Amino acid sequence: MRFLWHFPLLLTCLVCGPDLLAQRSEIWREKAGTWLLNVGVGTTRYLGDLNEQSDLGHLRLGTAINVAVAYRYSPQLTLRTEAQLYYIWGTQKNTHLAYNNLSFHSLNPDIWAGVQWDFWPADDQNHVIIPYALAGLGLTYITPKATYKGQSISLAPLHTEGIAYTRLPLILRYGLGVPIIATERLKWHLEGAYTHVFSDYLDDVSSVYPDRQGMTPLAAALSDRRPEIGQTPNPGGAQRGNKSWRDGYFVLSARLIFVITTPSRRNYGRSFHR
């Protein structure tokens, strides 16, 4: 799993001592029935045909912002729905395929719903820091673009590989998170999640170069960009991408979690107004 390439980044949070995690009063303790608001900002890393996952010298980082609503269903299980806007980009520059000169950038929304499983119950007195795993399914809308003659051109409508691919593919998200700081109603988490996209066209590159004779001049120019760097064009059928693995993106984010209400808080409110 490509997510594991970035797992060591999560371990940096473990240097934070337990003294940063404050004890909560009974009224705000996260029992089953607690509602939470989850807001995050982080950095992205695209993994696909226009990037080399082992090249840590050229990470090609982007940004992401997200917001989620969560409901604690049990002492360890939380249900979560989230919307995100993420920016990713990739280029064959500084890779072993630099001679093909392909690149892209994309600002995409996604939405997903799933579960969050704490390694121990939230009220476990033996563990001050309780990491969690998350997993879920959703959708993303892909908008790959390329910069050509100083302009940002949308690639999907051009069918640069002669294929009209879906721009609303399914996604599978999975990851790990850990709390860093907690106060009475607020928590800070560090979270890393990988999103597997059920499409190989997140970057508009998947299989082979098409026969460009029937293409518009703009589509042909963006299908094969070798002539821009003085190389001869690829023939139709030549390898353009790698169909053996799907595209995806990793997000490492800092997240602010706000406890909206708990069962104890609701009971207290009802008793107070009697």
The pLDDT value given to residue 263: 79
Give how many domains the chain has, as a whole number. 1
Residues of the domain holding 200? 35-153+165-205+246-272
Q: Which two tokens stand for residue 213?
A: 């004779």
The pLDDT value given to residue 8: 46
The pTM score is 0.86
The pLDDT value given to residue 30: 82
CATH number at residue 119: 2.40.160.20
Instruction: Decide if pLDDT at 112 tops 60.
Output: yes
Q: Could you tell me which residues come within 8 angstroms of residue 149 by beta carbon, excluding any fewer than 6 positions away?
A: none
Residue 19, amino acid:
D
CA dihedral 188, 189, 190, 192 (to 10 degrees): -150
What's the DSSP call for residue 24? P
Alpha carbon distance 148, 251 (integer Å): 28
**Does 29 fall in a domain?**
no
Per-residue pLDDT tens over the stretch 87-96: 999 999 988 8
Three-state DSSP string of 211-235: CHHHCCHHHHHHHCCHHHHCCCCCC
**Does 192 fall in a domain?**
yes
Per-residue pLDDT tens over the stretch 154-208: 999 999 999 999 999 999 999 999 999 888 889 999 999 999 999 999 999 999 9
**Does 79 fall in a domain?**
yes
Q: Across residues 86-115, what is the average pLDDT?
A: 95
